[in-house]
C-alpha cells in the first residue's frame, strides 16, 4: 500500500525572533502613548499632542536601544559558549563525542545508534551539532540585535501613531472616551493578529492585551487627575 505524500509542514517557530519584537513594540507604542495622552487629557489639545509626539520619539528610541542591548547580550552569551565549545572539541574530541551521544541516549536512542549518529553529525558539522543539541542554539532562534531593534522601533512608531491620530481628529470635550475606546480596539486587533501569526487563540490573545492596556490607562488617568487636582 502506497501512502499519500504528506503535505509540507509549516512551523512558526522561525518567526519568534522578529514577531516578539514587533508585537512588543506595537503593544508598548499603543499602551504607553495612549496612557500618556489619557493622563494629560485635561490639558489643552496642543499640549496633549506635543506630549504624545515627544512620547512617541522617546519611546521609539528607547525600544530600539533596549531591544538592541538586551538581544546583543544574548548574542554575546551565545558567541562565548560557541567559542568554549569549539575549544573543547579541539582539545577533547572523544569526550565531546560521548557527550553528544549521551544527549541522544537520554532522548530514547540506543547507545549504539546514538554513537553512530553523534559520529556522523560531528563529521558533518561538529560545532553545529553541539550548538543545537547541547546548547540549544540554532539558526532559527539565534539572536539578531539589529533586526530586533529596527522591528521594535518601527512597530512602536506605528502603534504610537494610532492614539495620536485619534487625538488629532477628536474634539477636546469627547477626547477621553474616544481615546480610551479606540485604544482598546487597537489593542484587541493587535492581540488577535499576533495570535493569528503564532497560530494561537485570537480571542485569548486579544483579551489579555486589552486587559493590561485598560489597567495601564486607568492607573495613568488616576495619576493625572491626582496631580491636576493638586495643582
Please give the pLDDT value at position 227.
58
Among 23-37, 96-110, 164-178, which stretch is predicted with the lowest mean pLDDT? 23-37
Average pLDDT over the chain, rounded to whole?
Answer: 76
Find the mean pLDDT for residues 214-229.
72
Element spanning 62, H or E:
helix 45-91
Domain boundaries, the chain: 17-82+145-230
* Between 167 and 34, the higher pLDDT residue: 167
Predicted structure pTM score: 0.59
Q: What is the dihedral of CA 116, 122, 128, 130, to 10 degrees?
A: 70
- Residue 142's Cβ-side half-sphere holds a number of Cα atoms within 13 Å equal to 14
Reference 94, options 119, 66, 63, 67; nearest CA is 119
4, pLDDT greater than 70: no
Amino acid 127: pLDDT? 80
Tens of pLDDT, residue by residue over 153-211, are: 888 888 888 888 888 888 878 888 888 888 889 888 888 887 887 677 888 888 888 88
Amino acid at each position: 500500500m502506497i501512502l499519500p505524500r504528506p503535505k509540507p509542514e509549516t512551523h512558526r517557530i522561525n518567526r519568534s525572533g522578529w514577531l516578539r519584537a514587533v508585537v512588543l513594540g506595537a503593544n508598548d507604542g499603543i499602551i504607553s502613548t495612549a496612557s500618556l495622552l489619557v493622563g494629560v487629557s485635561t490639558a489643552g489639545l496642543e499640549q496633549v499632542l506635543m506630549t504624545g509626539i515627544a512620547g512617541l520619539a522617546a519611546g521609539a528610541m528607547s525600544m530600539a536601544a533596549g531591544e538592541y542591548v538586551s538581544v546583543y547580550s544574548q548574542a554575546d552569551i551565545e558567541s562565548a559558549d560557541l567559542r568554549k565549545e569549539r575549544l573543547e572539541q579541539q582539545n577533547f574530541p572523544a569526550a565531546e563525542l560521548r557527550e553528544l551521544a549521551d544527549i541522544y541516549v537520554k532522548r530514547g536512542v540506543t547507545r549504539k545508534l546514538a554513537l553512530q549518529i553523534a559520529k556522523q553529525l560531528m563529521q558533518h558539522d561538529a560545532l553545529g551539532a553541539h550548538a543545537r543539541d547541547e546548547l540549544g542554539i540554532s539558526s532559527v532562534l539565534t539572536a539578531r540585535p539589529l533586526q530586533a531593534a529596527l522591528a521594535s522601533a518601527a512597530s512602536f512608531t506605528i502603534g504610537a501613531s494610532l492614539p495620536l491620530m485619534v487625538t488629532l481628529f477628536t474634539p477636546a470635550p469627547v477626547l477621553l472616551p474616544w481615546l480610551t475606546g479606540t485604544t482598546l480596539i487597537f489593542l484587541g486587533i493587535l492581540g488577535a493578529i499576533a495570535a493569528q501569526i503564532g497560530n494561537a487563540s485570537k480571542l485569548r490573545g486579544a483579551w489579555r492585551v486589552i486587559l493590561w492596556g485598560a489597567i495601564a490607562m486607568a492607573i495613568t488617568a488616576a495619576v493625572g487627575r491626582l496631580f491636576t487636582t493638586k495643582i
